[in-house]
Structure 1
Amino acid sequence: MLNKVVVGCILWLALAGFGTIRAQDFCSGSGGGFSINGVGGTVAVTGCAPFNVTVTNTVAGANNLAYNFDYKGENVPGTSTATTFRYTQPGRYRILQVGSSGATGIALCREVIVVDRTPPNVQIIPCSGNKVKVIVTDNNVARQYDQLEIDWNDPAASNDFINKGETLEREHTYSGTGQRQVSVRGVYWDTQGSCDGSEWVARTVILSSIQLNTVAISRVEARADGTFTLSYLGIQDVESEVLLQPAGGTYAATGVKNNRGGNQQMTASLPTSGGPYQVRLRTTDACGNALESNEVAVMQLTAQAENEQNVLSWNRYAPANGFTQYQLLRDGVVIQRFTNIANLTYTDTDVQCGETYRYQVIAVSATVQSLSAPVEIMAVSTQKPDAITQAIVSVEQDGSVSLIAFPPAQGQTTTYKMVFERSENLAGPYVEVGVADNTNRYSDATARTSERSYCYRILYENACGNRSDPSEVLCTVWLSRSGSNLRWTPDRPFTDAIGTYFVIKYNTNGTSAETGVGTSQNYDPRLDDPDQQEFTYQVRVRSGNGSFLSYSNVIDFRREAALFLPDAFSPNGDNINDVFRVQGTFFDAFQMIIYNKWGEVIFSSTDASQGWDGTVRGERAPEGNYVYKVEIKDNTGKPFVKTGSLLLLR
């Protein structure tokens, strides 16, 4: 223990002597000497991390030796008598040796370079034609090496090298097929060290039987939004790009790409001008081999609405080789096929005014279908529809007029208007009173059908705004009373001839009875029921062919309530005119009051069968004049009052 203390004191005294000369860095000292892993001299020693070093003193007679394996220029560095050390991280390090030789301190520094040997990241890609491409990821790992070495493991070829600053890609073509192993490593050029680079990175690759000519377009579909979608068979990890060629131009890249295999789709924009366009794919593998696919015409359809017809036209399909037919679709159904590639127009006359039709053309070849974007167009027409030939007017129970018209045979459309005109007499003038959209019925609530007959004309307006001529004039049947007879207007309420009139009588108990009167326009109702105060009548007319029925307004016959009272009576017990009572018909509620000459009530009754017997509070009333007042309500609820005087005789 005492010896170690003495040695340490002598060592630091020696170091202190150096410190008075160069206090900042002991590497400026002299007299030292050691080898690193057997390498003498003063040159730097290079090794791969982790790097184990062993130092050996080469100064004869030196003693009190110590080392710092990562000296950074400290004034008082830590030292150790250990002669081995392990560097785990890449970097540049200095080993400091200190000691003494005789009475003189010695020192020496040597540099150790520890380099990274992380293997580069490598991608091996098979290309068409048995070609293989090596791609090294461009990062700090790859750039630290002086060189990258590629071993193709091909007896017919030597290794390839990529030097610093060169593109980190290489290609090689093998003969034959099957599986190959490609190895890549990083290389350091320093031959004095023990590290010449990384471990080999081995990748197995199966030589590709890829044929770029298998990429083919099978379908092109243009869309209304100005894009088109093409379907094709792709190759996994091989890029295909959409190319477009305008009419009379050359193919240009669209930037739309895909590198997935199998059945694929890509969508690209179609320019608004310069068409029609041709489309094809350019397929390029990782080795730069490129091949263009079959070309397909993008079909473009135009439609023009003309009178009673839609005119359609489209571009000629190209290439002509393999062309089979054009298919023209309307609303999703094929309406025409053309096997001649030069047939580029079609006129569709099977159209209806105001209807919207959706057209599409499909060009079909042996291996491809090209679909245009759908085009919608509304058919137009200037032709006037036929006049309405079947219609009817009828009065409803609420007094309104119901009108029904059937659309004409020619010029009829799915959407339409019925225009209704009215006049208060047959000759006119007629004014429009209503329009019904997409229905053949209309109700005229403004007509006062109990006061007169109204005449109507009906017009049909189709979806193109074309109006027909007016229909025949149709008039409501107006029922009125002339004295005790019923009469009605003779004008037709429908477009057929009049067949038979029927007079309908409605009873208060809810029953009805009807009487056919032929073509007569009057009727005597014969109000002969003594128990019925009120009678309701209506006329129904049936057309000659039996297809139409029309009703008139409803009319009421009402008989007034009747009251019969004597002027005098003689309550003398002879059973002749002994009681003053009311006789009458058609009343329900009843009240009779008798007044004396002073206006006093001397008798009252609410029973019509009970009359005044000529007594007042049980005593015989004196002869003379008296006043009566009778109040009733008839069977319809109408009030009635009758007053008068009577003479009491004894």
Structure 2
Amino acid sequence: MLRFLLSCALTLGLLAGPLACTSWAQCLVSPPPATCPQPFRAIDVASGQEVQALCVGRAVRFELGCGRQVDPNKLYYNALPGTNATPAGCDFTVAPLPNNTFTPTAAGPYSIAELSNPLSTGMPMPTTGVVYVRNFQAYASPVPDISLIPCAAGNVRLGFQGFPQNPYDQYFVQVNGGPLSGPYARNSALPLFAAPAGSQITVVANYRDNTLCGNQVTITVPVIPTQKPVIKSLTVQGSLPGPIAFTFSGLSGLIDLGGGHNILPINQLQVASPTNPTRFRAVVGITSPTTYSQSLLPPGLYRLANYDLCGLDSTFSEPVPTIQLSAASQNNVNALTWQTAGPVASLTLLRNGTPLATLPPTATSYLDAAVTCGTTYTYRLQATTAGGSQTLSNQVAVTTTSTLAPPAPLVVASFDLLNRVNLTAALPGGAALPAGSTVTYSRQGGGQDYTFAALAAPALLRDSTALGTLLASPPCYAAQVLDVCGNRSALGPATCPVLLAAEAADPAGATARLSWSALRGPGSPAQGATYRVLTLGPDGTVLATSPVLTALSYLDVSPPADRQVLRYRIEASGAGLPGGALSYSNLATVVRQPYLAVPNAFTPNGDGLNDVLEVKGRYLTAFSFVVVDRNGQEVFRATDRSQTWDGTIRGHAPANGAYVWRFTMQDETGQPFSQTGSVSILK
């Protein structure tokens, strides 16, 4: 510390005392005696120790030095901020230090000035007063601001923040109450201290020229999260060098070191060239513990490196390789090739976001022939490493091109319930026609050969030629496809739908006989067809199904008894129809005649025999049955067969006589049916 002494000598007249200085502009300065370089001393009040520097907030008392003898009634001390300062006008009576004691309130230089006068001899003679000035530095004693960094193997490294947080010039360190080590300068390199997590480290700080000015702080060594770096995924997002995105796990973010201090772990993303896979170089320091991406990165093996905060240890993730994918198309085959920068444990090729093929980990190419000309496909490779990390290649899009003709389409010809032929086409195996292609259907027979207008696939074509014409000239259908690349297929094999005929097998129509033509499918005749007879209701609902048949005829011995019109349809399968498709025949019907039976007399006498008049017959629905007397007055009406007449007329008992009845209805085919007759009441 600065130890600067000045002396200011004043020559005062007899009895003048210190007040005589007020007329002077300033104190006169002269050196102190050579035999007394420090005319007065600073004594720490609390400890009684002489100090060469002051402490903020700690009282010091000033005492005479060198055994000087002065008049105690004319001894004054004054404290002023700065150096070499004396009271204004050399007037020591303004703000003298009480009891010669001073407590600094702020850090910095202070001037302590002393005015002393010799002891009086009692003789009227001039007396000389002397002013001495000493400069002191006052030090603050804040709590030391210490940074503590846990290191590997239970060691820690300490750091002292700069001025003004740490104004001290020497520091001592104590671990878990052990001996103090030090002193250490503020800017010096400190050794490592053995202090595992949970240890108490106390740092004592003070000043060399006044060790009473000091403070200390105790810090608990924190537990540092274990860093287990893992690259969870690596995704190439374009051509390399280019963008790559990463996701990480096993890293922590900002680490709380206690005492208001935080630190980021030392994490690096590193890369090694595929040609030198063991020599890694740093790419970037990682600050986010979960994600990172960069727009210009090279191909290679990537790993995460975590370094101990003190540089004593390191941990590395499993290396994850990049995969670069490229694609080209020729003759309806998409050719894929790739370069993997390092080993992988599994490899899957994705097409349009779904797995297409599982490949050997060492594979470098793949030919995709299950594609359609003119269609654009996207591909990406997905691989996993031995440690479970995932690496994704860049995504490539390729439009399939070809000069090869598409396969000849297969046609399914099937009648709907309105007896129109519906035509659909598919590729062999049942695959849909190429997207964007057109299909042209043609017909042989059916009255005349005909080529229909081309339709965009997979549109359905409906041949509305009258059923009678088709029955008279059985039709067969074929199709041809034109793909979006302009390649035309050969004409596909012909398909001929089943044609069905049905008739009553007996006069009453109690049985029905069916016969039909064979289904000719695209696989005929090598692949046979099977058939089932479907019995339908008026709305097309299937009422009954026959066993599977291979014959071309069927006798229905138990058709629905309550149906005037029997409706039949053949369901055909096999014969090479694509994708398990079914083909249906036309709808054939058997119309049976209604039958009405009304007795000519009944006997309502209560004997249980023929006591009521009831309507009997077959296929009688929604009818009107009216009975009138000889005057033409209605005596009974029924609209279904559950209604009977017991002979009473408007509440009166039956009376013998003859009556006339009339039956009317519309049958299931919409034709009118009516009968009339008479009935007698006999009692």
1:312 matched to 2:318? The reply is no
Aligned mates of 2:163, 2:144 — CA distance in 1:
9
Paired residue secondary structure (2:218): strand
Residue among 19, 34, 52 paired with 2:59: 52
The answer on whether the counterparts of 1:254 and 1:268 sit within 8 Å (CA) in structure 2 is no
1:252 matched to 2:252? The reply is no
- Structure 1 residues 388 and 304: CA distance shift in structure 2, 3 A: closer
Q: Which residue of the partner structure matches residue 234 of structure 1? A: 251
Residue among 68, 72, 82 paired with 2:78: 68
Q: Which residue of the partner structure matches residue 192 of structure 2? A: 171
Residue among 278, 281, 292 paired with 1:267: 292
RMSD, matched Cα: 4.6
Q: Which residue of the partner structure matches residue 219 of structure 2? A: 203
1:587-610: CA deviation from partner (whole Å, max 9, x where unpaired): xxxxxxxxxxxxxxxxxxxxxxxx
Aligned mates of 2:435, 2:103 — CA distance in 1:
95
Q: CA deviation at 1:304?
A: 2.1
| One-letter amino acid of the counterpart of residue 282, structure 1 | A
Q: CA deviation at 1:357?
A: 2.1
1:215 matched to 2:229? The reply is yes
Residue among 280, 287, 291 paired with 2:310: 287
1:39-93: CA deviation from partner (whole Å, max 9, x where unpaired): 9xxx983122113122335533354333321163454253426222221101111
- Structure 1 residues 183 and 223: CA distance shift in structure 2, 3 A: same
| One-letter amino acid of the counterpart of residue 86, structure 1 | T
- Structure 1 residues 466 and 226: CA distance shift in structure 2, 3 A: farther
Percentage identity across aligned positions?
20
Residue among 355, 358, 383 paired with 1:334: 355
User: Unpaired segments of 5 or more residues in structure 1?
Assistant: 1-6, 392-403, 421-433, 443-457, 472-544, 549-650
Paired residue secondary structure (2:129): strand
1:149 matched to 2:172? The reply is yes
Matches within 5 A, 1:102-117: 102=120, 103-117=127-141
Q: CA deviation at 1:232?
A: 2.9
Q: CA deviation at 1:164?
A: 4.5
The answer on whether the counterparts of 1:50 and 1:87 sit within 8 Å (CA) in structure 2 is yes
The answer on whether the counterparts of 2:405 and 2:488 sit within 8 Å (CA) in structure 1 is yes
| One-letter amino acid of the counterpart of residue 270, structure 2 | L
- Structure 1 residues 98 and 184: CA distance shift in structure 2, 3 A: same
Q: Could you state the TM-score of these two structures normalised by the residue count of structure 2?
A: 0.51
Q: Which runs of 4+ in 1 moved over 6 A?
A: 29-32, 386-391, 404-408, 417-420, 434-439, 468-471, 545-548
| One-letter amino acid of the counterpart of residue 207, structure 2 | Y
1:349 matched to 2:365? The reply is no
Aligned mates of 1:386, 1:361 — CA distance in 2:
30
Aligned mates of 2:305, 2:488 — CA distance in 1:
59
The answer on whether the counterparts of 1:258 and 1:266 sit within 8 Å (CA) in structure 2 is no
Paired residue secondary structure (2:199): strand
- Structure 1 residues 96 and 161: CA distance shift in structure 2, 3 A: closer
Paired residue secondary structure (2:204): strand
The answer on whether the counterparts of 2:234 and 2:247 sit within 8 Å (CA) in structure 1 is yes
The answer on whether the counterparts of 2:480 and 2:488 sit within 8 Å (CA) in structure 1 is yes
Aligned mates of 1:48, 1:65 — CA distance in 2:
24
Q: Which residue of the partner structure matches residue 96 of structure 1? A: 113
1:167-194: CA deviation from partner (whole Å, max 9, x where unpaired): 4x542235xx66211112323111xx4x
The answer on whether the counterparts of 1:297 and 1:370 sit within 8 Å (CA) in structure 2 is no
| One-letter amino acid of the counterpart of residue 189, structure 1 | R
Q: CA deviation at 1:375?
A: 2.5
| One-letter amino acid of the counterpart of residue 98, structure 1 | L
- Structure 1 residues 327 and 385: CA distance shift in structure 2, 3 A: closer
| One-letter amino acid of the counterpart of residue 203, structure 2 | V
Aligned mates of 2:213, 2:342 — CA distance in 1:
59
Aligned mates of 2:97, 2:182 — CA distance in 1:
47
Paired residue secondary structure (1:288): coil
Matches within 5 A, 1:112-151: 112-142=136-166, 144-151=167-174
Q: CA deviation at 1:228?
A: 2.5
The answer on whether the counterparts of 2:233 and 2:390 sit within 8 Å (CA) in structure 1 is yes
Q: CA deviation at 1:271?
A: 4.6
Paired residue secondary structure (2:303): strand
Q: Which residue of the partner structure matches residue 185 of structure 1? A: 204
Paired residue secondary structure (2:106): coil
Aligned mates of 1:92, 1:382 — CA distance in 2:
97
Q: Which residue of the partner structure matches residue 508 of structure 1? A: none
Matches within 5 A, 1:420-569: 462-466=483-487
Q: CA deviation at 1:283?
A: 0.6
Q: CA deviation at 1:125?
A: 2.5
Paired residue secondary structure (2:377): strand
Aligned mates of 2:156, 2:149 — CA distance in 1:
6
Paired residue secondary structure (2:215): coil
Q: Which residue of the partner structure matches residue 469 of structure 2? A: none
- Structure 1 residues 256 and 54: CA distance shift in structure 2, 3 A: closer
- Structure 1 residues 228 and 178: CA distance shift in structure 2, 3 A: closer
- Structure 1 residues 160 and 258: CA distance shift in structure 2, 3 A: farther
Q: Which moved more, 1:365-374 or 1:411-420?
A: 411-420
1:289-328: CA deviation from partner (whole Å, max 9, x where unpaired): 3233321222232222222111222334634xxx542222
Aligned mates of 1:268, 1:61 — CA distance in 2:
83
| One-letter amino acid of the counterpart of residue 21, structure 2 | L
| One-letter amino acid of the counterpart of residue 245, structure 1 | A
Aligned mates of 2:177, 2:51 — CA distance in 1:
38
Aligned mates of 1:134, 1:75 — CA distance in 2:
48
Count of residue pairs the alignment pairs up: 411
Q: CA deviation at 1:243?
A: 0.4
The answer on whether the counterparts of 1:298 and 1:370 sit within 8 Å (CA) in structure 2 is no
1:376-419: CA deviation from partner (whole Å, max 9, x where unpaired): 2222222245789999xxxxxxxxxxxx9977858942234689
1:358 matched to 2:381? The reply is no
Q: Could you state the TM-score of these two structures normalised by the residue count of structure 1?
A: 0.53
- Structure 1 residues 546 and 63: CA distance shift in structure 2, 3 A: closer
The answer on whether the counterparts of 1:131 and 1:207 sit within 8 Å (CA) in structure 2 is no
Q: Which residue of the partner structure matches residue 159 of structure 1? A: 181
Q: CA deviation at 1:351?
A: 1.0
Aligned mates of 2:62, 2:352 — CA distance in 1:
92
The answer on whether the counterparts of 1:256 and 1:266 sit within 8 Å (CA) in structure 2 is no
Q: Which moved more, 1:24-33 or 1:80-89?
A: 24-33
- Structure 1 residues 186 and 327: CA distance shift in structure 2, 3 A: same
Paired residue secondary structure (1:118): coil
Q: Which residue of the partner structure matches residue 85 of structure 1? A: 102
Q: Which residue of the partner structure matches residue 525 of structure 2? A: none
Paired residue secondary structure (2:202): strand
| One-letter amino acid of the counterpart of residue 267, structure 1 | Y
Aligned mates of 2:407, 2:585 — CA distance in 1:
21
The answer on whether the counterparts of 1:132 and 1:207 sit within 8 Å (CA) in structure 2 is no
